[in-house]
Structure 1
């Protein structure tokens, strides 16, 4: 049986719309690996245009774990300090 290969998405340059709902693999600074789905939290005001991402967690155990902040206005994508690496497919 052959495995399925999916292209990765460059989270450094992707838009919030391209990242929302995508599968991700996260490695935290303590070495924990988490396989999940990105969930976008839209900006709160028009002046604050940063979209924050957490895990889409139906059990609500990890749903508040912040992963990434993306600001199209400033052209930045920044991992939270407790995240060592992020792969998005």
Structure 2
């Protein structure tokens, strides 16, 4: 059986630039698995963190909040998400 192995990125320590556009696989608290790409929204309106939403091709989940990354604090995973795996490429 042939398969492709993709390297993961540690979202706990990665910079916003490293995460932007990366493929992500997440599981919600209700057990739903979602495969998509992270889309960064730079800090604005006095908010210091880069916010990441889901950028899906069907646009049905576009704008779903995933993660907030502030270089001064630990990243914050949204409460509705149980696990997050980020893949390079």
For residue 7 of structure 1, report the CA deviation from its aligned partner: 1.1
User: 1:84 — aligned with what?
Assistant: 82
Counterpart Cα distance in 2 of 1:58 and 1:8: 22
Question: Taking structure 1 as the reference length, what is the TM-score of the superposition?
Answer: 0.90
SS in structure 2 opposite 1:17?
helix
Aligned residues: 87
Q: CA RMSD in A?
A: 1.3
Unmatched 5+ residue regions in structure 1?
none
- 1:42 corresponding residue in structure 2: 42
Cα deviation digits, residues 8-52 of structure 1 (max 9, x gap): 10000000000000000000000000011000011115x532001
Q: Alpha-carbon deviation of 1:53?
A: 0.5
**TM-score, structure 2 as length reference:** 0.90
